[in-house]
Amino acid sequence: MRHLLLASLAALLPMLSPAASPRFTDGPVAAWVGGGDTVDPSVQLGWHAGYDVVPSINLQLGYSYHSDSISARDLADLGLPVGSQVDLDLHTLSASSRWYAWTGDLTGVYGVAGVQFMLANEDADEVNRAIVRQNSPIRDFSASVHKEFGFHAGFGIERSLTSNWETFLEYRHVWHEADVDYTLVTVDPQGSRRGVETNGKLPYDYDALRLGINYRF
């Protein structure tokens, strides 16, 4: 039994020990976002940093930003006038792990998976302008998207450019859903204002094609 334990530890140690030349990396990332539940997304911009915990695994932390809007269909279900639009500024913090399936002298192929935390800033000015234009019985509207965790997974290829610089191209699919609180203010025939609060779901899955460059320390 002792010999079996020692043999198992000997097999595991190379996987658990730090890389011979561990890398700290960081750099900018740009992503083309689309598909899924997106409406009119902007290019996603961000920054990430990583560290090799073992030769085949790199842990990363990242931040990204892009803009989009809530589906007009979802807003129409609330009884809002045609032309209503809620714009979203989406800030995402992510933690990911890359597993390198193959590495050569200059190139590596990897899979990636992790979690993200999304924060949204909402702008309902277009809704309130549409309310005024169409003399809607609704007098005011606001939306609040809850902060939520989601998941992502994908794959990519990394290429060394020099001893300190590398670039990568990565496909990532994001699974995300958030609760949304809506507040509508209506006026009855007697002129009394009444606030109505309701809530719904904001599914926000999307595909991202990410291109970045890293500096290796």
- Summarised one tens digit per residue, pLDDT across range 73-105 is 888 888 898 889 999 999 999 999 999 999 999
Q: Are 57 and 97 in contact, with CB atoms under 8 Å apart?
A: yes
Contacts of residue 51, Cβ cutoff 8 Å, sequence gap at least 6: 22, 23, 24, 25, 58, 59, 60
pLDDT at 178: 96
Residue 190 exposed, middle or buried by CB count within 10 Å (0-12, 13-18, 19+)? exposed
The model's confidence at residue 7, banded by pLDDT at 50, 70 and 90, is very low
Considering only 36-45, 74-83, 196-205, which range has the smallest mean pLDDT? 74-83
User: In whole numbers, what is the pLDDT of the chain averaged over residues?
Assistant: 89
The dihedral sign for the CA sequence 35, 36, 39, 45: negative
Considering only 135-144, 167-176, 201-210, which range has the smallest mean pLDDT? 135-144
Query: What does the alpha-carbon distance between residue 118 and residue 209 come to, in Å, rounded to a whole number?
Result: 18
Which is more confidently placed, 136 or 211? Answer: 211
Q: What is the mean pLDDT of residues 180-193?
A: 85
Q: Are 116 and 151 in contact, with CB atoms under 8 Å apart?
A: yes
Question: Which one-letter amino acid corresponds to residue 140?
Answer: D
Q: What is the pTM of this model?
A: 0.86
Q: What is the mean pLDDT of residues 140-156?
A: 96
Q: Are 33 and 206 in contact, with CB atoms under 8 Å apart?
A: yes
**Residue 40 DSSP class:** S
Give how far Cα 137 sits from Cα of 77, 80, 142, Å: 15, 10, 15
The model's confidence at residue 193, banded by pLDDT at 50, 70 and 90, is confident
Query: What does the alpha-carbon distance between residue 169 and residue 158 come to, in Å, rounded to a whole number?
Result: 7
The model's confidence at residue 16, banded by pLDDT at 50, 70 and 90, is very low
Tokens of 195: 């606030």
pLDDT at 79: 86
pLDDT at 109: 98
